[in-house]
């Protein structure tokens, strides 16, 4: 099997089988991840060690019958490469310098020459060299809105009210920040493609925060600008847009950003999205991560229900969000087996 099923689906061709990968497929639920993470010392040291990060990227590929590897890194690498202080406090999540006025935005640097970007690109090229022929390599970044929300809040925040208010009021520093993030995202993704990434995913984890014309301005607009620019620089590299929480707006996200696939959170039925997205666009998702956490009989049934909603040639099997750290690694193998079995039974 030399063809890449993921590239076939994203390129509108009939794949040999339904492509499968999982968001956060390399991570704390795997004992071999926890071991390398311990060796590296901190999460960021792991991200910036090309040797260890490419090993982590390969861990789920060595264990499971998957169709894609996703670069092991984080969306907050971009603000750090722009000069923003970042650390991950144990058990607390990320802590960043706050960027919420024009002085702080003016201090941001372009990412092109940052050592963080060089390290990530070395991880990409190392990983690409060792990848089995049927596995595609996915590079990624966070979407401007989601990354801006972490910069404005200075870290994780339950409601992201400060960031959401800025998106509504549009002070000049907010527009300038979004422009800088659009530019940085283009350069960062482009560098990953030149290092060997074959597919790109843009994570807008907090897209569901915004509504109406604010959604249009801060989610769809910036992502469309990035996709347009990438199309010019790398015409053959497909882009997956995951606007988590977009709900009834996924059809518009697909049509207006020009994505080759849209990721769908578990709350939405794939069949309804499929009707709303353009013919050439695939859907990705959307098994509930808690079904994967639960495992057992119900998991197989949930997998079959997801699969029944989408034809093989328009579907990338995945979760509606990342794998939960408490997930039993055996459940991932069960889910993959259930996908393969259900597809074999289909006429
Ligand atoms: O999917 C993969 O396997 C690739 C690696 C990847 C990570 N983060 C590794 C990671 C990817 C694609 C991300 C994206 C990311 N990072 C997003 C968007 C997707 C989503 O989950 O909504 C966001 C919002 C972040 C920001 C981030 N990174 C937070 C808020 C945290 C702390 C919370 C947590 O889960 O611990 C992280 C840390 C992080 N990123 C870990 C991993 C494996 C855990 C770090 C550890 O080992 O302690």
- Identify the sign of the CA torsion 5, 343, 240, 114: negative
Give the pLDDT confidence score for residue 91 in this predicted structure: 79
**Separation of alpha carbons 307 and 317, rounded Å:** 8
> What would the DSSP string read from start to end of 254-306?
HHHHT-SEEEE-TTS-HHHHHHHS-TT-EEEEEE-HHHHHH-HHHHHHHHHHH
Choose, from 74, 187, 204, 288, the residue flagged as catalytic: 74
Cα distances from 179 to residues 49, 51, 244, 253, 271, in angstroms, run 29, 33, 21, 19, 35
What pLDDT tens digit does each residue of the chain (347 aa) get?
A: 579 999 999 999 999 999 999 999 999 999 999 999 999 999 999 999 999 999 999 999 999 999 999 999 999 999 999 999 999 988 789 999 999 999 999 999 999 999 999 999 999 999 999 999 999 999 999 999 999 999 999 999 999 999 999 999 999 999 999 999 999 999 999 999 999 999 999 999 999 999 999 999 999 999 999 999 999 999 999 999 999 999 999 999 999 999 999 999 999 999 999 999 999 999 999 999 999 999 999 999 999 999 999 999 999 999 999 999 999 999 999 999 999 999 988 65
48 catalytic per annotation: no
**Given the CA of residue 47, which atom of ligand 1 is nearest to it?**
9
Choose, from 18, 37, 128, 302, the residue flagged as catalytic: 37
**Separation of alpha carbons 198 and 301, rounded Å:** 32
Say how many Å lie between the CA of residue 13 and the centre of ligand 1: 31
28 catalytic per annotation: yes
Q: If you take atom 3 of ligand 1, which residue's CA is the nearest one? A: 24
For the chain, the domain total comes to: 1
Q: Please, is 105 exposed, middle or buried when counting C-beta atoms within 10 Å of its C-beta (0-12, 13-18, 19+)?
A: buried
**Given the CA of residue 70, which atom of ligand 1 is nearest to it?**
4
**Separation of alpha carbons 85 and 80, rounded Å:** 6
Domain that holds residue 178: 5-345
By C-alpha distance, which of 235, 125, 227 is closest to 186?
Answer: 227
**Separation of alpha carbons 331 and 19, rounded Å:** 18
29 catalytic per annotation: no
- Identify the sign of the CA torsion 171, 172, 174, 178: positive
Q: If you take atom 9 of ligand 1, which residue's CA is the nearest one? A: 74
Beta bridge partners of 222: none
Tokens 């509606």 belong to: 320
Q: pTM here?
A: 0.97
- DSSP label at residue 42: S
By C-alpha distance, which of 280, 230, 229, 285 is closest to 255?
Answer: 280
What phi-psi label fits residue 24: left (phi over 0), alpha (psi between -120 and 50 degrees) or beta?
Answer: left
How many Å separate Cα 251 from the centre of its chain?
A: 18
CATH number, domain of 85, equals: 3.20.20.210
170 catalytic per annotation: no
**Separation of alpha carbons 39 and 52, rounded Å:** 9
Cα distances from 154 to residues 75, 147, 221, 228, 304, in angstroms, run 14, 10, 24, 30, 41
Tokens of 253: 């996200």
Alpha helices in the chain (DSSP H): 5-10, 31-40, 43-47, 50-63, 77-81, 102-106, 115-130, 144-153, 161-169, 172-195, 212-215, 221-233, 250-257, 270-276, 289-294, 296-308, 329-345
């Amino acid at each position: 099997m030399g063809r890449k099923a993921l590239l076939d689906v994203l390129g509108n061709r009939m794949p040999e089988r339904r492509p499968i990968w999982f968001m956060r497929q390399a991570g704390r639920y795997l004992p071999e991840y926890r071991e390398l993470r311990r060796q590296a010392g901190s999460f960021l040291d792991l991200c910036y060690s090309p040797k260890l990060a490419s090993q982590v990227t390969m861990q789920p590929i060595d264990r499971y019958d998957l169709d894609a590897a996703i670069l092991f890194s984080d969306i907050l690498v971009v603000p750090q490469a722009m000069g923003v202080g970042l650390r991950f406090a144990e058990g607390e999540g990320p802590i960043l310098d706050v960027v919420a006025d024009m002085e702080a935005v003016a201090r941001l640097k372009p990412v092109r020459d940052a050592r963080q970007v060089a390290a990530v690109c070395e991880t990409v090229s190392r990983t690409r060299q060792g990848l089995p022929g049927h596995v595609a390599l996915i590079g990624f970044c966070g979407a401007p809105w989601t990354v801006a929300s972490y910069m404005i809040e200075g870290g994780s925040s339950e409601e992201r009210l400060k960031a959401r208010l800025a998106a509504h009021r549009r002070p000049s520093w907010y527009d300038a920040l979004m422009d800088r993030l659009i530019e940085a995202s283009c350069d960062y993704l482009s560098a990953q493609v030149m290092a060997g990434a074959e597919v790109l995913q843009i994570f807008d984890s907090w897209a569901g925060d915004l509504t109406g014309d604010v959604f249009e301005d801060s989610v769809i607009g910036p992502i469309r600008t990035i996709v347009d620019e990438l199309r010019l620089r790398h015409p053959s590299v497909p882009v997956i847009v995951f606007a988590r929480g977009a709900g009834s707006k996924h059809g518009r996200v697909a049509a207006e950003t020009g994505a080759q696939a849209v990721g769908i959170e578990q709350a939405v039925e794939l069949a309804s999205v499929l009707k709303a997205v353009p013919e050439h666009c695939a859907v990705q998702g959307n098994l509930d991560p808690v079904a994967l956490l639960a495992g057992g009989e119900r998991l197989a049934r949930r997998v079959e229900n997801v699969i029944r909603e989408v034809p093989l040639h328009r579907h990338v099997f995945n979760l509606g969000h990342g794998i939960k750290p408490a997930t039993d690694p055996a459940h991932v193998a069960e889910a993959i087996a259930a996908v393969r079995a259900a597809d074999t039974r289909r006429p």
